[in-house]
Every structure is written in C-alpha cells, then in structure tokens.
Amino acid sequence: MPATLELICDDPARGQRDPTPNQLHGLVSTLLAESDAAHQAEEKPWTAAVERLDDEHVLLRVGWLPSAPIPLTSPTVVRFGPVRHTVLEAAAEVVSYGDLASASAEEVGWELITPTWLSRSGTALPFPDPVRVLARLVQRWNEHCPDSARIPERARRTLLDRVKLQAWSGRTWAMSIGHAERVGFVGRLVVGVKDPALHAVSSQDTDVELGAAQKSPSDAAELALASRLLAALSRFAEISGAGAQTTYGAGQLRVHL
C-alpha cells in the first residue's frame, strides 16, 4: 500500500555539504535494491526528498506508491555520496488507496516546498498548472492502485473540466540535477473546483440572488465527484510528489485541506 518512510539522520559534515539530487536518487535506488533495469527506468514507483532540519540533522523521506508493501526496512546507516549518516529516528506511515479517497474538499492548498515543474516534449514548464498536475496525478494513481480504486476516464474528465486556480504566491527556483539545471516553482497554490450553478449565475447579465442558483441533480453529483477526486489526489501528491523528477527531490509538497 502507499507509504512514507521518514529517517532523521545525523550530519557529520555539520551543514557544510548538502546531499545532491543525484546522491539522493542513488541512495534510495540502493535502499530499494533496484535492478539495473529498474534503476534506469524513466517511471519509478517511488519518490524521494531530503530536507535539512538544522546543521546537525537531515530528514530523508521516501514515498512508495504501489499496493504491494514497500520493500524496505529502516536502515541504521545511509550514505549520500562519500558522507556516512547514522539514522537516529525512523517513522513509517502506510495508507490504502481507499483511505486516500475518503475525504472531500472543494478547495485545497498546495504548499510546494521544492522546485516543481512539468515536462512537455523535453521542455520544463516552471509553473505547475493545476489541470496538468492533476492529470499527471490521475495517471500515476491508476498505474499503481488496485483495479477497484481506478479513476475512470469520465471521472477524470469531470475533475479536469471543473478545476480552477484560485490564488497563488511564490517564485521560481533553480535546481541542478547532474549537469542540467531546471527552473521550477516554489510557493503556494489554492486550487478549487467550480460550482456549475454559481458559474451559470455569474455569467448572466442581470442581477440574480445567489440563493436562486439551483444545482441540478447531475451538477450536484459532478461537483461532489470532483471534490472527492481533488482531495484524494492532493493527499496522494504528498506521497507521489507533483510534476517531474520527483525521485530527485523535486515536486515535494504539503497539502492543506
């Protein structure tokens, strides 16, 4: 089942040398005992991030997406390149796809804490457009969830047709991965779903009381479906990351429902 593993480690370098994205990727691949083919695969069933807590501690976070258990037990020592870190604390959280889908929200906050970008035809798009982010999250969800939890195309379309960006604040931030530099977005987004009835009222030329907006049964059902999917995929994104190269530490976010 989807899981997160968090390891608090000491830092012998005392903050003088932060782990690089490539070192992070290589460490987690080693911990998961990936084969050469799996290591080279473009799509991976995991994500990773490293966060500096203070000069003496770093936090390693691994997200696991498949329904099968994560093939990893807490190590006592990890290595980022030549630096050996002792694991001081470990915590794991396991959640089912059903649990992820149990909430509903017409509005969510996404706090993007590492550079986040989308990839299209080899080009990095530095602003995380919510429609593209959610379309990618649906794809990843369906790749790893059990058949009973799959999001059908009609439901996907219902969500993407109604999602809207309500507010954002932040800035671009460059991130080096190997010899390449990517520019992503770090900041906050407020994402919601449109209420068809209110949208219809706002599009009229005459003044209408909001109380006059009446949802049809189909509008209400579609709004409820879109709200459930928005909440489920946002919670999933805390494990899967958002956007491109999440196994290198990009696209990490916190969600506020």
Per CATH, is 101-256 categorized as 3.40.50.280? no
What is the per-residue pLDDT for 52? Answer: 92
What is the per-residue pLDDT for 102? Answer: 93
Q: Estimate to the nearest angstrom the gap between the alpha carbon of 250 and the chain centroid.
A: 10
List residues bridging with 7 in a β-sheet.
60, 90
The amino acid occupying position 225 is L
- Asked if 58 and 249 touch (Cβ cutoff 8 Å), the reply is no
Q: pLDDT tens digits for the chain (257 residues)? A: 899 999 999 999 888 888 999 999 999 999 998 777 776 777 899 999 999 999 999 999 999 999 888 888 789 999 998 899 999 999 999 999 999 999 999 999 999 999 999 987 767 788 889 999 999 999 999 999 999 999 999 999 999 999 999 999 999 999 988 888 889 999 999 999 987 654 443 444 434 343 334 455 578 889 999 999 999 999 999 999 999 999 999 999 999 98
What is the per-residue pLDDT for 209? Answer: 41
| Fold matches, 3-94 and 101-256 | yes
DSSP letters along the chain, please?
Answer: --EEEEEEEE-TTTTSSPPPHHHHHHHHHHHTT--HHHHH-SS-SEEEEEEEEETTEEEEEEEE-SSSPPS----SEEEETTEEEEEEEEEEEE--HHHHTT---SEEEEEEEEEE-EEETTEEE-S--HHHHHHHHHHHHHHHS-GGG---HHHHHHHHHHEEEEEEEEEEEEEEETTEEEEEEEEEEEEEE--HHHHHHHTSSS---GGG----HHHHHHHHHHHHHHHHHHHHHHHH-SSS-GGGT-S-EEEE-
Question: How is the chain split into domains, by residue range?
Answer: 3-94, 101-256
Q: For residues 14 and 96, what is the distance between their CA atoms, to the nearest angstrom?
A: 38
What is the per-residue pLDDT for 216? Answer: 54
What is the per-residue pLDDT for 46? Answer: 96
Query: CATH topology for 3-94?
Result: Alpha-Beta Plaits (3.30.70)
- Asked if 3 and 45 touch (Cβ cutoff 8 Å), the reply is no
